[in-house]
Amino acid sequence: MESIKRNVLLNPGPATTTDTVKYAQVVPDICPREKEFAGLMKGLRADLLKIVHAPADLYTSVLFCGSGTINIDVCINSLLPEGKRILIVNNGAYNARAVEVCQMYHLPHIDLRFDVFKQPDLGIVEQTLRENPDVAVVYCCHHETGTGILNPIREIGALAHQYGAVFVSDTTSSLGMIPLDVVKDNVDFCMASAQKGLMAMSGLSFIIGKTNIIKASKNYPTRSYYCNLFMQYDYFEKTGEMHFTPPVQTIYATVQALKEYFEEGEQAKFARHRAVYEAIHEGLEKIGLETAVDRKMESGLVVSVKYPDDPNWDFKKVHDYCYERGFTIYPGKISTTDTFRLCALGKIYPQDIEDFFVVLKEAMSHYGIKLK
């Protein structure tokens, strides 16, 4: 196996993958309607449950062909009963995306907005649930990738359940990196795509959720043809296949990535991402770049870095300098503050971060940007 040029991706996904995952896509051509392929997806669906400790008698996983946003679309348009409302606990760009999905489908919703630099106020969440008994679905992103803030989903899920609502969490940028236990964490539905925490390729997304709720949603208003959760679930149960063409090669890569996930182990992988995150903070401190978010609230996966106050700073130039040397840095997503992001996703190590800071320092002195 020839090794492929290794790029260190410090963007929030797709992430750096192993060569074994890359090569897993190189397989004989196969029609995905063959039994052999259905068998592959069956194992994959079962393994996804294990990652979030979902008991197989209560939860199921449903695969979709698409980027992670398809999951947001599917959950929101499929899980809202007639005459009910959805409450979006919104402290950032990815929760705002869920609000946009509600708007596109003209769904009754509450956009409960919080400061993007803070975790949501649970007292206000509870008060909103108390005052709005027609809320049937509570939605909140676990790790808000736009800022790097980790939201208290266990507590939000408990409140949702206390008020009889289903709790949906967008775990796209935490699943497979920060241990999640859907039962203990009060999560009825979570989601991710293969290219983030699982370190596979883009094109495959999945929702893990309570089977009885999916079955009940059969009787809810249908709002999409391609993106209906019950329809996709039902097709899998009846045939073992995706309703429409699956991303064949991405599925082979994901099967290999899951094998590597279990080999590395939940806790060891969590610790590795943490160590990378610590190395990012250490490197930033050394060169005197400031971060935008209180560290106590950070997920340990994304760091929002403030632009230095220097007329020579030019994100694009610095990005290009690093990119040419194998390191990808990423723009920020905070409207009020100029930031860029450094992320700890993917198969990378603290040594990669040390190597990156050598290059970043070089880039900064090359463009005459002041260093501490």
Ligand X SMILES: *Cc1c(COP(=O)(O)O)cnc(C)c1O
Q: Residues interacting with ligand X, by CB under 6 A?
A: 12-13, 67-69, 94, 141, 145, 170, 172-173, 193
**Pairing assessment for the beta strands 109-113 and 85-90 based on DSSP bridges:** parallel
Q: How far is residue 135's CA from residue 103's CA, in Å, rounded to a whole number?
A: 16
Tell me whether residue 202 or residue 228 sits nearer to ligand X (CB atom): 202
User: Considering the complex, what minimum distance in angstroms separates the CB of residue 341 from ligand X?
Assistant: 11
User: Considering the complex, what minimum distance in angstroms separates the CB of residue 212 from ligand X?
Assistant: 25
Tell me whether residue 170 or residue 188 sits nearer to ligand X (CB atom): 170
Contact (Cβ atoms closer than 8 angstroms) between residue 79 and residue 249? no
User: Considering the complex, what minimum distance in angstroms separates the CB of residue 144 from ligand X?
Assistant: 7
Q: How far is residue 206's CA from residue 64's CA, in Å, rounded to a whole number?
A: 6
Question: What's the alpha-carbon Rg for the chain, to the nearest Å?
Answer: 21
Tell me whether residue 103 or residue 351 sits nearer to ligand X (CB atom): 103
Phi first, then psi: give them for residue 49, nearest 5 degrees. -60, -40
User: Considering the complex, what minimum distance in angstroms separates the CB of residue 170 from ligand X?
Assistant: 5
State the maximum Cα–Cα separation within the chain, in Å, rounded to a whole number: 63
Tell me whether residue 94 or residue 220 sits nearer to ligand X (CB atom): 94
User: Considering the complex, what minimum distance in angstroms separates the CB of residue 143 from ligand X?
Assistant: 6
Helix (H, G, I), strand (E, B) or coil at 98: helix
Q: How far is residue 88's CA from residue 95's CA, in Å, rounded to a whole number?
A: 7
Tell me whether residue 144 or residue 188 sits nearer to ligand X (CB atom): 144
Determine the residue with CB nearest ligand X.
68
Q: Residue 238 burial (CB < 10 Å; 0-12/13-18/19+)? A: exposed
Q: How far is residue 215's CA from residue 44's CA, in Å, rounded to a whole number?
A: 21
Q: How far is residue 192's CA from residue 196's CA, in Å, rounded to a whole number?
A: 8
Tell me whether residue 40 or residue 301 sits nearer to ligand X (CB atom): 301
- What single string gives the DSSP state of each residue in 7-21? -EE-SSSS----HHH
For tokens 């956009």, what's the residue?
Answer: 111
User: Considering the complex, what minimum distance in angstroms separates the CB of residue 105 from ligand X?
Assistant: 17
User: Considering the complex, what minimum distance in angstroms separates the CB of residue 107 from ligand X?
Assistant: 18
User: Considering the complex, what minimum distance in angstroms separates the CB of residue 68 from ligand X?
Assistant: 3
Q: How far is residue 15's CA from residue 345's CA, in Å, rounded to a whole number?
A: 6
Tell me whether residue 72 or residue 369 sits nearer to ligand X (CB atom): 72
Tell me whether residue 38 or residue 297 sits nearer to ligand X (CB atom): 297
Q: How far is residue 93's CA from residue 12's CA, in Å, rounded to a whole number?
A: 13
